[in-house]
Amino acid sequence: MLPADIHLHSTVSFDGHNSRTEMALAARDRGIRTICFTDHYDVVNEKNEFVPVYDWTPVRREHQEAVKALGNSIELLYGLELGNAPANFSAAARALEEPGLDFVLGSIHNSGQELGWSDYYYVKFDSPELSYVWLDDYFTQEERLVEWGNFDSLAHLPYPLRYIAQRDGQPVTLKRYEERIVEILCMLIQNGKALEVNSGKNVHIMPEYGWLLERYRDLGGELVTVGCDAHRSEDVGVGLGQAYDLIRSKGFRYITVFRGRKPCPVRL
Ligand SMILES: [Zn+2]
Ligand SMILES: [Zn+2]
C-alpha cells in the first residue's frame, strides 16, 4: 500500500487529460489509500493573462461524480493548486473561500511582472546567464508567496529546473540560492507550512529534494507532503515509492496530509 498522493490534476485543469473518477480509479488500482485533487487556479494563467475569479462549478461536479463512483474504497480529498498568487493576493484569497476545502498547494508557474508574467513552459532557456535571470525572479515570487502564506504546502520548489535543466539542458543548480531558500524554509516552518516533494517526471529535480529536505529538517521542519502531479491516469503514483524512500532516508518518519486545511501525520 502507498499511503498518500496529494497532488493530482483532472480535466478541470487546462492541461488535464482524465476525469477525477478515472484518476481515482487508477490510484485505487495502484494501492494508494488517500489522494487529493489539486486542479489549477493560476491567478495569471498559461497565456500570461490575469484571471480574477476561479469558477468552482465544474470542480464540484467532477468531484461529486468521483465520490459517487469510488465510495469508501479510497479517501478523496478536495484541494487546489493555487498558482501565481503574488500577481493578485485578493483574487487568490477569494478562491480559497470555497467550503469544504481540504488542502491548498502554493505554486509559482510564471515569472513576475518585470519578465511579463510569463509561463516558464513557453520560455526558451538558451544560456546559463539567462536562466539565472529567470531564477532570480522566480525566488522573488516564491518569497512573496511564502510571506503571504495563505496555502498549506509549498509545491515543487525546484520547478523552473524542469524546463531550464531537464528540458533545455542548462547546467544550473539551485545551490547559488541556498541562503534565500533557507529563509523560505524558515518562514514555512514558523508559519506551520509544509514542503512538498513532487515525485513526478523529474529526473533533474528529484536530487534537489535531498538537500532541501536536509535543510528543512535541520531547521526544525516536520511537515512534508508528497504528490506525483499526474495530469493523466497512466501517470498516477509515478515516483511515489522513490519519494517516500528519500524522505525516510532524511530522517522523517511521517508524511503529512491535510484535511479541512489541518495537517494530519501519516506514518511512512
Ligand atoms: Zn504546479
Ligand atoms: Zn500540479
| Rounded distance from Cα 107 to ligand 2 centre (Å) | 8
Indicate the pLDDT class of residue 202, thresholds 50, 70 and 90: low
pLDDT, mean of residues 232-260: 96
CA 59 to ligand 2 centroid distance, Å: 15
Question: Three cell numbers at 215?
Answer: 535543510
What is the share, in percent, of the chain residues with pLDDT greater than 90?
Answer: 96
Q: How many CB atoms lie within 10 A of CB 112?
A: 18
State in Å: Cα 156 to ligand 1 middle: 7
Lowest average pLDDT, out of 67-71, 82-86, 173-177, goes to 173-177
pLDDT in tens, 206-220: 789 999 999 999 999
For residue 80, the CA-to-ligand 2 centroid distance in Å is 9
Distance CA 85, CA 74 (A): 31
Measured in Å, residue 250 CA sits from the centre of ligand 2 at 24
Q: What is the mean pLDDT of residues 19-40?
A: 98
Q: Could you give the domains of the chain?
A: 2-267 (3.20.20.140)
Q: Minimum-distance ligand to the CA of 13? A: 2
Residue 59 alpha carbon to ligand 1 centre in Å: 17
- Length in residues, the chain: 268
pTM for the full predicted model? 0.97
Looking at the predicted structure, is the pLDDT value of residue 203 above 70?
no
Contact present, 181 and 212 (Cβ < 8 Å): yes
- Return the pLDDT at 43: 98
pLDDT in tens, 155-165: 999 999 999 99
- Ligand 2 centroid – CA 17 distance (Å): 13
List, for residues 93-116, the tens digit of each pLDDT value. Answer: 999 999 999 999 999 999 999 999
Q: What's the confidence (pLDDT) of residue 207?
A: 81
> Ligand nearest 6 Cα, by number?
2
The amino acid sitting at 207 is: P
199 Cα to the center of ligand 1, angstroms: 12
Q: How far is the CA of 262 from the centre of ligand 2 (A)?
A: 20
